[in-house]
Amino acid sequence: MINLEPTISQIEKLLEENTEASVTYAALECRLAIERICYERLRLAHDYISHDDLRKWQPSDIVKTLIQEVDAKAAETFTLSIAREHMPEGSPPLARENYEAMEWLPVGTQVGFAPNKLGKLWNALAKLALHIEIPTSKDATVTQYGDIQAIAPKVKLALAEIRRISEGTMMFTGMGEEVSFECSCGSKNKRRLELLKDGQTINCINPDCDESYGYVQTDMTFGRRTFEIVCRACEASRDIPKRMVEKLRTDQHIHFDCSRCSETIYVSWRPMQAQRTEPTLKRPK
């Protein structure tokens, strides 16, 4: 758990100072705190998602991706409790009344938040406090700070939200059936079954690995995504990770030595022309 208390008292102190500079710094502290709240959830989820699976980088988008792919309850409020009574493994499931009659010990409470609301605050703080207004004419003045009257209320809103979230005593990476596979690099990749979609691409969680896998729902398998390369000199073929090719920019190439004849093979993206009209052959008269 991240400790938000020092940040909260720092923001309070800056608000009390109530100068253009101090309120601007308070806005920056709020933004950093929002980032920490969201990124901490990502850090905890990293066993379940690759860095490369995050398509957008704003803190609220990261949390939204976690909700879609890792844990549907990643941003919800709930308390986790365990039963005092020990249930031996393999014991038959009990009826609801039996569970309700048990004594439960609370383990902790996760305090949730609305990613959209937090994202809007994060954007609003930047707009008001972290940039000054662009002069629209020669007569306009270039100010040193933003408008304190506009910044302070937003900072107070953000502070209230940060304080509320700071009251949580745990963060959880979710429950539910898990499926896993071992990548050729040796990393174990885990996913929640209920959040997997047929045909979904899963990038290996190892940040140094280029492998990716396609999920096949019918037999719950993960197929390695590859690109076949055939040596033109000796016709030996090999499969390279498809992501190596997908990551290539148009002005880049990758190269390998053929494992059989050791000739160097280059791979790069090329524009290709296609037309609906077949070329007409001009016959000499």
Kindly identify the residues of this chain, within the stretch 190-219, that bind Zn ion according to CB under 5 A: 204, 206, 209, 211
Question: Pattern 229-258, binding to Zn ion, x per CB under 5 A?
Answer: --x-xx-x---------------------x
User: Least distance from C-beta 140 to Zn ion, angstroms?
Assistant: 55
183 binds Zn ion (CB under 5 A): yes
User: Least distance from C-beta 236 to Zn ion, angstroms?
Assistant: 5
Q: What is the 3-state secondary structure (H, E, C) of the chain?
A: CCCCHHHHHHHHHHHHHCCHHHHHHHHHHHHHHHHHHHHHHHHHHCCCCCHHHCCCCCHHHHHHHHHHHCCCCCCCCEEEEEECCCCCCCCCCCCHHHHHHCCEEEEEEECCCCHHHHHHHHHHHHHHHHCCCCCCCCCCCCCCCCCHHHHHHHHHHHHHHHHHHHCCCCCCCCCCCEEEEECCCCCEEEEEHHHCCCCCEEECCCCCCCCEEEEECCCCEEEECEEEEECCCCCCEEEEEHHHHHCCCCCCEEEEECCCCCCEEEEECCCCCCCCCCCCCCCCC
185 binds Zn ion (CB under 5 A): yes
User: Least distance from C-beta 96 to Zn ion, angstroms?
Assistant: 43
Question: Pattern 89-128, binding to Zn ion, x per CB under 5 A?
Answer: ----------------------------------------
Q: By CB under 5 A, which span of 14-22, 193-201, 227-235, 274-282 interacts with Zn ion?
A: 227-235
56 binds Zn ion (CB under 5 A): no
Structural Rg of the chain based on CA atoms: 27
Pick the closer one to Zn ion by CB: 148 or 245.
245
Q: 239, 241, 178, 256: which is closest to 208 by C-alpha?
A: 241
Q: By CB under 5 A, which span of 55-63, 133-141, 184-192, 274-282 interacts with Zn ion?
A: 184-192
How many residues of this chain interact with Zn ion, rule: CB under 5 A? 15
Q: Are 74 and 174 in contact (CB under 8 A)?
A: yes
User: Least distance from C-beta 99 to Zn ion, angstroms?
Assistant: 40
Q: By CB under 5 A, which span of 77-85, 87-95, 174-182, 262-270 interacts with Zn ion?
A: 262-270
User: Least distance from C-beta 227 to Zn ion, angstroms?
Assistant: 16
Pick the closer one to Zn ion by CB: 139 or 228.
228
Kindly identify the residues of this chain, within the stretch 15-54, that bind Zn ion according to CB under 5 A: none
Q: Which residues bind Zn ion (CB under 5 A)?
A: 183, 185, 187, 204, 206, 209, 211, 231, 233-234, 236, 258, 260-261, 263
